[in-house]
A = this chain, B = another copy of it.
Amino acid sequence: MLGRLNHVGVAVPSVDAALGRYRALFGTDAVGAPFDLEPQGVRVCFVSAGNTEIELIAPLGADSPLRGFLERNPAGGQHHVAYEVPDVEAARDAFAGLGVRALGEPRPGAHGSLVLFLHPKDMGGVLVELMEPPAAGH
């Protein structure tokens, strides 16, 4: 049901403040340009680890869904794992058949392709994002 690990989502208090560390860890060329993803209330930056990516995310706006996570984890931490699926809506139906609930409806994600989050209570405490593969070069 799940394909390759597209990225690991890591929450940080500030994406821009974290870039120096991630450039030191993965190299300057591995770190993309940060951008705001307003519909999801996050500021985002992708970092390449070669075989997959790290998605740095920080709260954007007062209603960001990340604010609760950062209240519990003020320094940041691992937030979600995103797997590629060919069709998010078909995957949602297949997970529903396993008793796994979706959080909301499919919507465009940071790569522009459709994404959907699954309820961590139904996934062993792991927040799983399903995403359709982005177009080349995301």
In the bound complex, what is the Cα–Cα distance between A5 and B18 (angstroms)?
Answer: 19
Interface string of A74-109 (1 = CB under 8 A from B): 011110010100000000000000100000000000
Q: How many chain A residues touch the partner (CB < 8 A)? A: 32
Instruction: Report B-chain residues with C-beta under 8 Å of the C-beta of A11.
Output: 125
In the bound complex, what is the Cα–Cα distance between A25 and B4 (angstroms)?
Answer: 12
A73 CB within 8 Å of chain B? yes
Instruction: Report B-chain residues with C-beta under 8 Å of the C-beta of A124.
Output: 10, 12, 18, 21, 75-77
8 Å CB contact of A125 from B8, B51, B75 = B75
A138 CB within 8 Å of chain B? no
Instruction: Report B-chain residues with C-beta under 8 Å of the C-beta of A21.
Output: 124
Contact residues, A12-47 vs B (CB, 8 A) = 12, 18, 21, 24-26
Please name 21 pairs of A and B residues whose Cβ atoms are closer than 8 Å in the assembled complex, sorted by A: A1-B25, A2-B49, A3-B49, A5-B8, A5-B51, A5-B52, A8-B8, A10-B124, A10-B126, A11-B125, A12-B124, A21-B124, A75-B120, A76-B124, A76-B125, A77-B120, A77-B124, A77-B125, A78-B78, A78-B81, A78-B127
